[in-house]
Amino acid sequence: MKRILSGIQPSGQLHIGNYFGMMKTMISNMETSDLYVFIVDLHALTSVHDRERLSTGTLEAAADFLALGLDPDKCTFWVQSDVPEVCELTWVLSTLTPMGLLERCHSYKDKVAKGIAANHGLFAYPVLMAADILLYQSEIVPVGKDQKQHLEVARDIAVKFNNRFGETFVVPEPFIGETSAIVPGLDGQKMSKSYGNTIPIFLDDKHLRKRVMAIQTDSTPVEEPKDPDNCNLYALLKLFASKEKMDEVHDLYTGGGAAYGYLKQDLYELIRDYFAGARTKKKELLANQDYLREVLAGGADKAREKAMQTLELVRDRVGLKY
Ligand code: ADP
Ligand code: TRP
């Protein structure tokens, strides 16, 4: 069985970009792979400096995954900071990571360009991510397209380490699902917690409808043809609607007659129904936080065992054992 690993930041409400970009792929691989799923609270610390937000966000993210169908008995599911070995590996890997490699990272550059204050953690973020991946000897890492460059950094570091110190790490492969490569947000840019353009998975009906109605569309009149490939509403509908429905919508776009308001109402109902079961489940889970903590503690024990094996090997390889 292949080892598949991916993580998500508990830095805000999880949204449908996270779901289609990563969570859905992970959950669907539960039966057929050695699955590692974790909540990256140390990464979230690069942007969240609010005790309450981070700690409740972590429990919420755990509830999200379980509500959406992740079964902790069929995978290893934990919180990143519960396995402190990752920090030691990050340091070792940093000493092999050229500054230029990190300076080229789009994610860092974009955040700085958007006015997010740059700190060392934000700059070193890809090294911690490489440590996450390499510590568990992961073979496949499902992520959205935006994380592809970070995966390349992890691969570069793994190869560099192996060349210098002998075969130690599995060199991971990214997996980027086709339909979900980049889920657009309300404004047509990548949907992202940091851009405030998301449709969260677990909004109540009223707020969900409001968000969907706020999707930006152009001002082409109803009866005129429109380009489905350049419309974020169309891209979002495609994630939820059946093939038959999409054929119909496609004809309306190309032939004229697509009324954005009606299509938004359709999208709202589709999203609401798609996540209805998960929403009820999430409420039940959040009402039982002891259970959530127990699940995460069990997951951390399992993850830590694997982490310690790799770290022992690394210490030996680099000369930290004397
Ligand atoms: P955000 O950008 O909202 O902070 P994260 O960086 O925490 O999201 O991403 C968590 C996972 O969800 C990653 O695998 C990421 O690639 C995926 N993801 C996030 N936003 C999108 C999107 N708009 N489309 C596809 N995948 C996404
Ligand atoms: N950087 C990833 C994101 O924002 C989250 C992450 C941290 C991750 N460590 C990881 C994803 C390891 C995959 C594997 O989406």
CATH of the domain at 149: 3.40.50.620
pLDDT at 222 (0 to 100): 87
pLDDT for 179 equals 60
* 242 shares a domain with 101: no
Q: Look up the domain containing 248 and give its range.
A: 203-274
**Within this chain, do residues 12 and 110 fall inside the same structural domain, yes or no?**
yes
- Give the integer Cα–Cα distance in Å for 111 and 47: 10
**Which residues are identified as catalytic?**
111, 190, 193
Q: Where are the beta strands (DSSP E) in the chain?
A: 3-8, 34-39, 76-79, 140-142, 173-175
Low-confidence ranges of the chain (pLDDT < 70): 179-181
pTM: 0.92
CA of 313 to the centre of ligand 1 (A): 32
Is there a domain that residue 51 lies in?
yes
Centroid of ligand 1 to alpha carbon of 21 (angstroms) = 6
Protein residue whose Cα sits closest to atom 8 of ligand 1: 192
Q: Compute the distance between CA of residue 322 and CA of residue 311 in angstroms, rounded to an integer.
A: 15
The number of domains in the chain is 2
Are 266 and 301 contained in the same domain? Answer: no
> Which of ligand 2's atoms lies nearest the C-alpha of 40?
7
pLDDT value of residue 176: 85
Confidence at residue 312, expressed as pLDDT on a 0 to 100 scale: 98
Co-location of 60 and 177 in the same domain: yes
Q: Which ligand is nearest to the CA of 198?
A: 1
126 alpha carbon to ligand 2 midpoint, in Å? 9
Q: How far is CA 119 from CA 7, 31, 57, 124, in A?
A: 21, 40, 21, 9
68 with 215, same domain? no
Residue 143: what pLDDT?
Answer: 85
Task: Check which CATH number belongs to the domain holding 235 and give it.
Answer: 1.10.240.10
Q: Which atom of ligand 2 is nearest to the CA of 138?
A: 14
